[in-house]
Amino acid sequence: MASIDETKAFVPLNIAVLTISDTRSLDDDKSGATLQDRLTAAGHRLAGRDIVTDDVEAIRAKVRTWIADSGVDAIITTGGTGFTGRDVTPEAIEPLFEKRMDGFSIAFHMLSHAKIGASTIQSRATAGVAGATFIFCLPGSPGACRDGWDGILSAQLDYRTRPCNFVEIMPRLDEHLKRGNQLS
């Protein structure tokens, strides 16, 4: 079972939050606000917060901008992970992944199943790594954002979590790019 090693110092990350919705604005974006509140309460820094429409190119453009920004360590999206015609978040973001994080979806569905039962199958929550940036795609409800943050992300984005966490491997996320240069 995971635990916090209190002998280690907390390492704040720069986390960007992207809401994907045709209908929300920053004023009524409860899911984005939930993520912002939770990550800042945990001690992380909000690196950016935006809303884009359910449009593949708009989503990709914003996520690519944050991937290219060395001041962004992780991106959390909310919305667009369902099955309606406008739900295109996985289609927009998964092609950007250098590595998929299949365990995130499994863990999210396990947490979600405990709360909403079989309805969890209506989510296509996904995650991966691109350009040494972690990307997590959550459903658009505040409850799903709470579950994803409280049940998975808060621990995995905390350097003190044992036996392992994402923060400790961040310096090695782009080693394949460095290795490529050394083999030439």
Whether the full predicted model's pTM is greater than 0.85, yes or no, is: yes
Task: Report if residue 2 sits inside a domain.
Answer: no
Task: Report if residue 1 sits inside a domain.
Answer: no
pLDDT in 10s for each residue of the chain, 184 residues: 789 999 999 999 999 999 999 999 999 999 999 999 999 999 999 999 999 999 999 999 999 999 999 999 999 999 999 999 999 999 999 999 999 999 999 999 999 999 999 999 999 999 999 999 999 999 999 999 999 999 999 999 999 999 999 999 999 988 876 644 443 3
Task: Report if residue 6 sits inside a domain.
Answer: no
Residue 101 structural domain: 11-182
Number of separate domains in the chain: 1
Task: Report if residue 134 sits inside a domain.
Answer: yes
SS (H, E, C) the chain: CCEECCCCCCCCCEEEEEEECCCCCHHHCHHHHHHHHHHHHCCCEEEEEEEECCCHHHHHHHHHHHHHCCCCCEEEEECCCCCCCCCCHHHHHHHHCCEECHHHHHHHHHHHHHHHHHHHHHCCCEEEEECCEEEEEECCCHHHHHHHHHHHHHHHCCCCEECCCCHHHHHHCCHHHHHHHHCC
Task: Report if residue 56 sits inside a domain.
Answer: yes
Task: Report if residue 161 sits inside a domain.
Answer: yes
Task: Report if residue 109 sits inside a domain.
Answer: yes
Question: CATH code at 76?
Answer: 3.40.980.10
